[in-house]
């Protein structure tokens, strides 16, 4: 698996602003089934938020992840602490510490079903702009 680790640039962006920019970046590339899981009240959660979406092809999955990476870097000078899965583009993960973004190929998302695993989180669904 292709793994890339970056130094996270300090930024004054709030978690809510970060999440809004991530959601907007997903919608730019017509990502589908976008959901944010607020996990702040869960004692065993690995992060504060998961943002999960899917694409209909490996090319679209990679394009969504690349757009998130580029926009956060360019607009907020923020890099993920961890970025992996670009090789096969079935599941790309971008870790922004308080928010972890999961960009799935449709069938891969169904197999791992993170929403069911963390079903006690607060869910917010977002429109797909496709």
In a domain, 51, yes or no: yes
Asked whether the beta carbons of 87 and 1 are under 8 A apart, the reply is yes
Q: Domain range holding 44?
A: 3-118
Our count of domains for the chain comes to 1
pLDDT digits (tens, 9 = 90+) for 37-89: 999 999 999 999 999 999 999 999 999 999 999 999 999 999 999 999 988 89
Cross-strand partners of 49:
38, 99
Backbone angles phi, psi at 39, to 5 degrees: -110, 15
CA distance 3 to 38: 26
pTM higher than 0.75: yes
Question: Does residue 126 lie in a domain region?
Answer: no
| Cβ atoms 68, 101 nearer than 8 A | yes
CATH code (residue 13): 3.30.460.10
Does the residue 21 lie in any domain?
Answer: yes
């Amino acid at each position: 698996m292709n793994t890339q680790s970056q130094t996270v640039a300090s930024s004054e962006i709030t978690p809510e602003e970060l999440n809004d920019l991530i959601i907007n970046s997903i919608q730019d590339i017509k990502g589908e089934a976008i959901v944010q899981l607020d996990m702040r009240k869960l004692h065993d959660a690995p992060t504060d938020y998961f943002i999960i979406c899917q694409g209909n092809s490996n090319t679209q999955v990679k394009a969504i992840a690349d757009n998130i990476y580029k926009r956060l870097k360019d607009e907020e000078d923020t890099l993920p602490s961890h970025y992996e899965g670009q090789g096969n583009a079935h599941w790309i993960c971008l870790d922004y510490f308080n928010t972890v973004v999961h960009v799935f190929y449709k069938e891969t998302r169904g197999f791992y079903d993170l929403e069911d695993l963390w079903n006690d989180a607060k869910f917010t669904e977002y429109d797909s702009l496709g």
